[in-house]
Amino acid sequence: MRELSEALHLPRTAGRILDTLAQTRRTLRVDEIVERVRSSERSVRENLSLLVRRGILERKVFVTTNKKLAYVYSLKPVEDVLTAARRDLSLTLQKIEGVAKRLRRTTSS
């Protein structure tokens, strides 16, 4: 997971979250992740949100014993992670191409 984190330029906490989920091979609640990665709850929540947006983690809702909604997180299958990485690379390339076009226009004027 460390290599994947580096390849995707993920923050350190996001990498530790991925390592933790890969090692446990099951879904974890936020409090369990906070305890295992030894980071603040705020940092963990921000990085979980990032990993879900990037298509690397799956988030499922459940009802606690106090009748409140909460989430558990797990790694998506490798194929889904590769698809998400390809999408990220494609978007980055599109942004670079857009900047290059604007630069060409301003330098040719």
User: What pLDDT, in 10s, does the model give residues 66-93?
Assistant: 999 999 999 999 898 888 888 888 988 9
The string of pLDDT tens digits covering residues 32-59 is: 999 999 999 999 999 999 999 999 999 9
Query: For the domain bounded by 2-108, which CATH number is listed?
Result: 1.10.10.10
Residue type, 102: R
Determine how many CB atoms are found less than 10 A away from the CB of residue 72. Answer: 16
Pair of tokens at residue 89: 């690379």
Q: Where are the domains of the chain?
A: 2-108
DSSP string, 70-86: EEEEEEPPHHHHHHHHH
- Radius of gyration (Cα) for the chain, nearest Å? 18
